Amino acid sequence: MKLKKVALFSNEYPPNIYGGAGVHVEYLSRALAELVEVEVRCFGDQDIIDGNLRVKGYQPWEEMSRNTDPRFTGATGAISRSLAMAKDTLDADVVHCHTWYTQMGGILAAKLWDIPFVLTTHSLEPLRPWKVEQLGTAYHLSSWMERTAIENADAVIAVSKETRKDVFDHFGAAETKTHVIHNGIDLEEYRRDPATDVLEKHGVDPGKPFVLFVGRITRQKGIIHLVDAIKHIDPEIQVVLLAGAPDTETIAREMNEHIAEARRQRKGITWIDTMLPRRETIQFYSHAAVFCCPSVYEPFGIINLEAMACETAVVASRVGGIPEVVVPDETGILVDLELERGTFFPRDPDGFSRALADGINRIARDPALARRMGEAGRRRAEDHFSWRAIAEKTLTLYEALIERKQVVV
């Protein structure tokens, strides 16, 4: 039987996107829809039909938020929506889930509709201990859901070689069912934008170099370490932070305190704490002298790829899948990072912040180097990370699973 239809289960889907997993599902679904029918079931109220692509949103059962710790509702709500996604009539040939929020839905759908279950690991709960701040002890529930799904999946996709290794180290998943398929980039959408109207609207001087950060305010993204690096960054280099959606009130408070301290020491800091439209973010990428990704954990780091596609050099921490994207001294600079065992805290936070600043200063002070690294980044994005190629690899995996299931039956 030739594969005709794919079901993707996801927490995020436009317009409800706040992280890399949501970006991945958005573009993967579009690329797959050029090859087969695709149905996306996601958290929200979406109801979209666009050619081969069908998108349906699901709301949580209200009972999940009654008479309980408010921090639990992320996990309990995920279970209720996963059940709703799975029980609805499904005529797909394979179900493919993204993040622990929907992985219970994948297990149930596979059992109910007798189809292969694939999951993509965009991150792993054992490597994100700071999630306790957000989920409370429901972190144990999210971790259990993730482990159970990995153990029951017919195939596990890791977004980088390092993430595949993490799957083996923490879950012991069989090598034969664990595959590496990278994230991708829309090369037509993410390209250099010569306009500067968005920069000017937000008070950024397009005539002066600036370092850019794009991401959520979370322990994982290391934003506080970059803010602490500002005192070491050349004051002639503007600092632009597109940073919003704090995970917790605690880290939101920390961010405000550290920004206030940085502003007492120097000018030229622009913090935009709301998510900008993609076009505006692309313009910021396009004009940054350097993009900084100070993550303490990053399975892939799609934001680095977005910057590279816009011809911008990158300074990033040497963690997770980032070295598979950013080539040191060719498309950017990688900064070594050693964490305290079992935590998300650098052993030497001041040294890490200073090393980030050193990399930023080196590139931003040398326009020729920045230009050379930016051009090399664009070439690397074109050569290795198109969504069409990634969709074809994913489809090949689906077809192999279906063929294997037919043989077993």
Q: What is the pLDDT of residues 267-311, one digit of tens each?
A: 999 999 998 999 999 999 999 999 999 999 998 989 999 999 999
Integer Cα distance of 12 and 3 in angstroms: 25
Structure tokens at 331: 């498309």
Task: Judge if 396 and 355 occupy the same domain.
Answer: no
Contact 336, 318 (CB under 8 A): yes
- For 102-123, give the DSSP string: HHHHHHHHHHHHT--EEEEESS
Which structural domain range is residue 178 located in?
5-184+386-408
Task: Judge if 395 and 372 occupy the same domain.
Answer: no
The 10s digit of each residue's pLDDT in 249-271 is: 999 999 999 999 999 999 999 99
Task: Judge if 154 and 257 occupy the same domain.
Answer: no
Coil, helix or strand for 333? strand
Integer Cα distance of 22 and 403 in angstroms: 29
Is residue 190 assigned to a domain? no
Is residue 380 assigned to a domain? yes
Task: Judge if 179 and 224 occupy the same domain.
Answer: no
Confidence of residue 407 (pLDDT cuts 50, 70, 90): low
pLDDT at 170 over 90: no
Task: Judge if 302 and 365 occupy the same domain.
Answer: yes
Number of domains in the chain: 2
**Residue 107 has what pLDDT?**
97
**Residue 409 has what pLDDT?**
47
Is residue 192 assigned to a domain? no
Task: Judge if 48 and 73 occupy the same domain.
Answer: yes
Task: Judge if 368 and 394 occupy the same domain.
Answer: no
Nearest to 25 by CA among 55, 1, 50, 67: 55
Question: CA-CA distances (angstroms) from residue 392 to 34, 36, 96, 102?
Answer: 10, 11, 15, 23
Integer Cα distance of 379 and 66 in angstroms: 52
Contact 307, 193 (CB under 8 A): no
CB-based contacts of 7, cutoff 8 Å, min separation 6: 38, 39, 40, 41, 90, 92, 94, 95, 96, 109
Instruction: Look up the CATH number of the domain holding residue 51.
Output: 3.40.50.2000
Task: Judge if 220 and 105 occupy the same domain.
Answer: no
Integer Cα distance of 409 and 405 in angstroms: 6
pLDDT at 408 over 70: no
Is residue 189 assigned to a domain? no
Integer Cα distance of 173 and 361 in angstroms: 42
Alpha-carbon dihedral of residues 405, 108, 155, 178, nearest 10 degrees?
-150
Pairing of β 238-244 and β 210-216: parallel
The arithmetic mean of pLDDT across residues 176-189, rounded, is: 93
Q: Which residues of 300-333 are buried (b: 16+ CB within 10 A; e: fewer)?
A: bbbbbbbbbbbbbbbbbbebbbbbbbbbeeebbb
Bin 67: left if φ > 0, else alpha if -120 < ψ < 50, else beta.
left
For the chain, state the CA radius of gyration: 21
Sign of CA dihedral 378, 308, 317, 238: positive
Integer Cα distance of 287 and 270 in angstroms: 15
Is residue 242 assigned to a domain? yes
The arithmetic mean of pLDDT across residues 110-136, rounded, is: 87
The arithmetic mean of pLDDT across residues 68-90, rounded, is: 93
CB-based contacts of 402, cutoff 8 Å, min separation 6: 1, 3, 93, 94, 116
Least confident of 89-103, 244-258, 336-350: 336-350
The 10s digit of each residue's pLDDT in 191-242 is: 999 999 999 999 999 999 999 999 999 998 999 999 999 999 999 999 999 9
Give the type of residue at 160.
Answer: S
Kindly report the average pLDDT of the chain as a whole number: 93
Confidence of residue 345 (pLDDT cuts 50, 70, 90): confident
The 10s digit of each residue's pLDDT in 143-165 is: 999 999 999 999 999 999 999 99
Question: CA-CA distances (angstroms) from residue 47 to 34, 83, 107, 379?
Answer: 20, 19, 24, 37
CB-based contacts of 13, cutoff 8 Å, min separation 6: 22, 25, 26, 29, 40, 42, 43, 44, 46, 55, 57
Q: Which residues of 144-164 are buried (b: 16+ CB within 10 A; e: fewer)?
A: ebbbebbeebbbbbbbbebbb
Question: CA-CA distances (angstroms) from residue 16 to 11, 81, 284?
Answer: 9, 15, 21
- Model's pTM, two decimal places? 0.84
Integer Cα distance of 218 and 247 in angstroms: 6
Task: Judge if 282 and 372 occupy the same domain.
Answer: yes
Integer Cα distance of 121 and 163 in angstroms: 8
Task: Judge if 124 and 232 occupy the same domain.
Answer: no
Task: Judge if 41 and 165 occupy the same domain.
Answer: yes
Is residue 304 assigned to a domain? yes
Cis peptide before 15 (omega within 30 of 0): yes
Integer Cα distance of 299 and 161 in angstroms: 9
Task: Judge if 351 and 368 occupy the same domain.
Answer: yes
**Residue 1 has what pLDDT?**
60
